[in-house]
Amino acid sequence: MAFPSFLFLIIPLLISLRFSQAQLSPDYYKASCPDLDNIIRDTVTSKHKTYPTAAAATLRLFFQDCMIGGCDASLLISSNAFNKAERDADINLSLSGDAFDVIVRTKTALELSCPGIVSCSDILALATRNFINLVGGPSYTLHLGRKDSLESSISKVEGNVPRANTSIDEIIKMFESKKLTVQEMVALSGAHTIGLSHCKEFAYRLYNYNRNTPTDPSYNPKYAEALKTVCKDYEKNPAMSAFNDAVTPSKFDNMYYQNLLKGMGLLESDSVLLKDPKAKSFVQLYATDQTAFFNDFARAMEKLSHFGVKTGNQGEVRRKCDAFNSIQT
């Protein structure tokens, strides 16, 4: 019996994908870098004690790295004379230096213990999970063995990471392109239970929403007034920020969803979750059931952490996380 010719193209692709996944393992570094877990834990804990906001910063760095072409540390690369990297895209300029710093510190410690073994992409994934645990969030299994990307281009960024004013339809399409469902999108949005956002990202909702209504009517009026007080000098001080979760800003919990239902979604991309019936149903679920949120968030993070992973000769183990091992031209 003759097989359709297109099957001979598809079958090798499926085998390749399964082989790549099979190369990842929770115990990938058990023999080659036995001190990995201790080094990650010590570095992350030390950073958290000094800079508590590093947890949210690292989680955002991991998320945006994965959304732009996969979890491959391409966002850690610095631009050079030959290449404008993802890191210099306008949406990434507000990424916190503390997140990059904890990866650099961890990589330095690991290079002393097991040089040339642990990839920067695995360090970022592990540091993110540990930070989430430290602030009270759920744990989840990470399969390791990622390689670091061999490219990082600013041109790959636009359209892959939601902006503060991205519509719900655009957000859903963006996540669907990464094989993430509406439920997983809403669960991952719960990462905004910690961290800060710059006032300039949402100031238009306070002062210039539209010609007839200066303040976004979806804001709780008292919340809007409080934000106006916090952000009153944001034009003079671009670094001025507000907590994503004004109630429990440093605790990983389900308060983000409770806040949304009260008109206290800081960014418009938060508030629009209530405009889609399916997304709203998950917001309502997570607002009343933290266990459901934690379980779904953990599963979504596991799934996200596999997106676009590079293995074998698809990547490398960088010596320095902000630079390719050889100059890319």
- Over the chain, what is the mean pLDDT? 93
DSSP states of 125-158? HHHHHHHHHHTT-------B--BB-S---GGGTT
130 has a pLDDT exceeding 90? yes
pLDDT value of position 19: 44
CB-based contact 61:104 (threshold 8 Å)? no
Whole-number pLDDT of residue 22: 56
CB 76 within 8 A of CB 124: yes
Alpha carbons 94 and 198: distance in angstroms, whole number = 8
**Which two three-digit tokens encode residue 185?**
């999108």
Give the rounded percent of residues in the chain with a pLDDT score beyond 70. 93
- Give the confidence band of 328 by pLDDT, cuts at 50, 70, 90: low
Radius of gyration of the chain (CA): 21
Token pair 């390719």 in the structure block, residue: 324
Kindly state the tokens that stand for 224. 């809007």
Half-sphere exposure of 184 (CA within 13 A, CB side): 18
Kindly tell me if the per-residue pLDDT of 8 is higher than 90. no
E strand or H helix that includes residue 196: strand 196-198
What gap in Å lies between CA 189 and CA 203, rounded to an integer?
Answer: 20
CA dihedral 321, 322, 327, 329 (to 10 degrees): 130
Residue pLDDT, tens place only, 24-41: 999 999 999 999 999 999
Q: Which residue carries 């892959």 as its tokens? A: 160
Nearest CA-CA partner of 315 in 149, 153, 72, 124: 149
DSSP helix/strand/coil, 320:
strand
